[in-house]
Amino acid sequence: MKVFVAQQNYHIGNFDRNLELILSALKRAEEAGADLAVFTELSVCGYPPRDFLEFDDFIRQCEAAVDTIRQHTHRVAAIIGAPARNPDPKGKDLFNAAWVLHEGEVKAVVHKTLLPNYDVFDEYRYFEPATQWKVVPLFGHRIALTVCEDIWNLGDNPLYRICPMDELMLQSPDLMINISASPFDYDHDEDRKEVVRQNVLRYGLPMIYTNAVGSQTEIVFDGGSLAFDASGTLVRELAYFREDECLLDTAELLQPATKSDHSGIQASVLEKDMRVKRIDDPEQIIPYLTAVHNMAQVHDALILGIRDYFSKMGFKKAILGSSGGIDSAVTLALACKALGPENVRAVLMPSEFSSGHSVDDAVTLSENLGNPYDIVPIRGIYDSFLRTLSPIFGDLPFGLAEENLQSRSRGNLLMAIANKFGLILLNTSNKSELATGYGTLYGDMAGGLSVLGDVYKMQVYALAEYINRHGVIIPQNIITKAPSAELRPNQKDSDSLPDYALLDMVLFQYIEKRRGPREIIAMGIDETLVRRVLKMVNANEYKRNQFCPIIRVSSKAFGVGRRVPIVGRYLG
């Protein structure tokens, strides 16, 4: 059987576009002589459709798309992802399903069993889990067909009591196919390959694994579809962070040419929380977070995240505030790469507290990148606010209100230019700032999309180095100078925050690894520091609650996957 693997970039709820992508791939599959084209999880509607699944109209459109695809399957069969209605009046209305279409007919509908309901996932909100399993016969093969998470329990994943693969094996399949929408994070890609390989080794069967690609606002799907032969050898790996496709011959997968060596295989990568790796030596955290391998992936993920957000929303041009600091420099460099420098407008907005080099550095940066920029001093606006407020503020000393006024004046200016010219404001805050609340609501926290909101400050430096790997794009002075918000004379981040290497280490323990103060202190980190940092994180939940979507690159980003009460007094 010749299998065409289609790794495509769908758009949630954009049925016309998704259908067009699927039908054109089906046509290419036919031209390439394929017997079967395999798409990804919920391909007809895009993943995750979230509460759209509660609308009958939405499900009807999914059904209409499936119906159209069905009518386009003649000689070539298709496996596509779409919701299926639950005929049982008991249970949720829908299944998350893989549809097998061939010769103009629905040959099989396979329901997903293991419904992820952690981090960004809410599948139990919408879907009923499968309780029956049936191998799909196709072109002489007996296929163990599953959807995404269903290969993530090999009997030892504590989250699940059922192993759908074990159930399917009772029916003697000869090939495994899994259709996924498995999001990227720099903790996760190796896990995924390892899980596929472990299924192959456990059952001694080849597996074709398709994964979605493309970003859906905050969630990045990185592609990297896989084919393993029966011996556990990786035969094919599709591109990461872009659409890709290939033709496979199952005969080659079933009869591997080489016998690979599996002596180094881990017993299991699955843990109770499979998304969090264990890094128990605090000294290793920053080197791990800033590793070049991780940074290269984060770089590509962020560019895809920016590009897809703009293209799917129908936007072309971005704007951002360029301060001469490292966060805005890295954001600007990524945006120029994603959208083209001609589509990114940088605005330099110096105040009386800006240091001389800030404007110079920002100008040099934009000259290196070739993007348009404006210099718009905020002095007049700031003074006008102070004049208007003077009857109310009286003789009260300069303080937080005045600092925030500068930041918010800049936010206003950026939004005004954005509104005037139809630009989208990119936010430049990093994860360390967002965690500690070191930012101004409606000021530097404004924007439609956060590029670095899941990137710790130490990682922002590493990203800058990565961006400069073939030559200087970000001026060295931007990388080496002490970080400052420049909202009062001689201000430095270190006036308000611990050293970033220390801060990020504690934040990673608390946010990604969900370790409380007792556990973090037990790792040998100063108790006062730990409590101070954790208190900042919890006290600023209200700010993050109003923040824009953040492109997710870690196993635990702020936003939809991290659900923390605002009134929480819990400090650990």
Q: Which residues are identified as catalytic?
A: 41, 112, 148
The number of beta carbons lying within 10 Å of the beta carbon of residue 393 is: 15
Q: Does 565 bind its own copies (CB under 8 A)?
A: yes
In the block, which residue shows the tokens 């010219």? 421
CB burial of residue 512 (10 Å; 0-12, 13-18, 19+) = buried
Please state, in angstroms and rounded to a whole number, the distance separating the CA atoms of residues 10 and 65. Answer: 13
- What tokens were used for 63? 């059904």
Count of residues touching its own copies (by CB under 8 A)? 101
Q: Does 259 bind its own copies (CB under 8 A)?
A: no
Residue ranges in 347-406 that form contacts with its own copies under rule CB under 8 A? 374, 376-378, 380-381, 383-385, 387-389, 391-393, 396, 399-402, 404-405
Please state, in angstroms and rounded to a whole number, the distance separating the CA atoms of residues 253 and 379. Answer: 68
Among 31, 313, 316, 526, interactor with its own copies by CB under 8 A: 313
Region of 100-108, 189-197, 467-475, 544-552 interacting with its own copies (CB under 8 A): 544-552
User: Among residues 262 and 442, whose Cβ is nearest to its own copies?
Assistant: 442
Q: Does 237 bind its own copies (CB under 8 A)?
A: no
Q: Does 522 bind its own copies (CB under 8 A)?
A: no
The number of beta carbons lying within 10 Å of the beta carbon of residue 287 is: 12
User: Among residues 220 and 458, whose Cβ is nearest to its own copies?
Assistant: 220
User: Among residues 15 and 133, whose Cβ is nearest to its own copies?
Assistant: 15
User: Among residues 136 and 359, whose Cβ is nearest to its own copies?
Assistant: 359
E-assigned strands of 453-500?
Answer: none
Please state, in angstroms and rounded to a whole number, the distance separating the CA atoms of residues 474 and 209. Answer: 39
Query: Per-residue x/- mask for its own copies, residues 6 to 25, rule CB under 8 A?
Result: -----xxxxx-x--------
CB of 441 to its own copies, least distance (A): 7
Among 252, 296, 519, 531, interactor with its own copies by CB under 8 A: 519
Q: Are 13 and 45 in contact (CB under 8 A)?
A: yes
Residue ranges in 489-518 that form contacts with its own copies under rule CB under 8 A? 514-518
User: Among residues 474 and 548, whose Cβ is nearest to its own copies?
Assistant: 548
Please state, in angstroms and rounded to a whole number, the distance separating the CA atoms of residues 84 and 147. Answer: 13
Please state, in angstroms and rounded to a whole number, the distance separating the CA atoms of residues 400 and 348. Answer: 22
User: Which residue, among 5, 1, 46, has the nearest Cα to 25 in the 3D structure?
Assistant: 5
Among 51, 190, 495, 499, interactor with its own copies by CB under 8 A: 51
Q: Does 413 bind its own copies (CB under 8 A)?
A: yes
Among 24, 171, 476, 546, interactor with its own copies by CB under 8 A: 546
Query: Per-residue x/- mask for its own copies, residues 176 to 205, rule CB under 8 A?
Result: ------------------------------
Q: Are 24 and 18 in contact (CB under 8 A)?
A: no
Please state, in angstroms and rounded to a whole number, the distance separating the CA atoms of residues 427 and 22. Answer: 34
CB of 485 to its own copies, least distance (A): 15
Crossing angle for the helix pair 457-467 and 500-511, to the nearest 10 degrees:
110
User: Among residues 255 and 388, whose Cβ is nearest to its own copies?
Assistant: 388
> Which DSSP string do the residues of 395-415 spell out, in sequence order?
TPPS-HHHHHHHHHHHHHHHH
How many angstroms separate the Cα of 190 from the Cα of each of 194, 300, 460? 6, 16, 23
Residue ranges in 53-82 that form contacts with its own copies under rule CB under 8 A? 54-58, 60-61
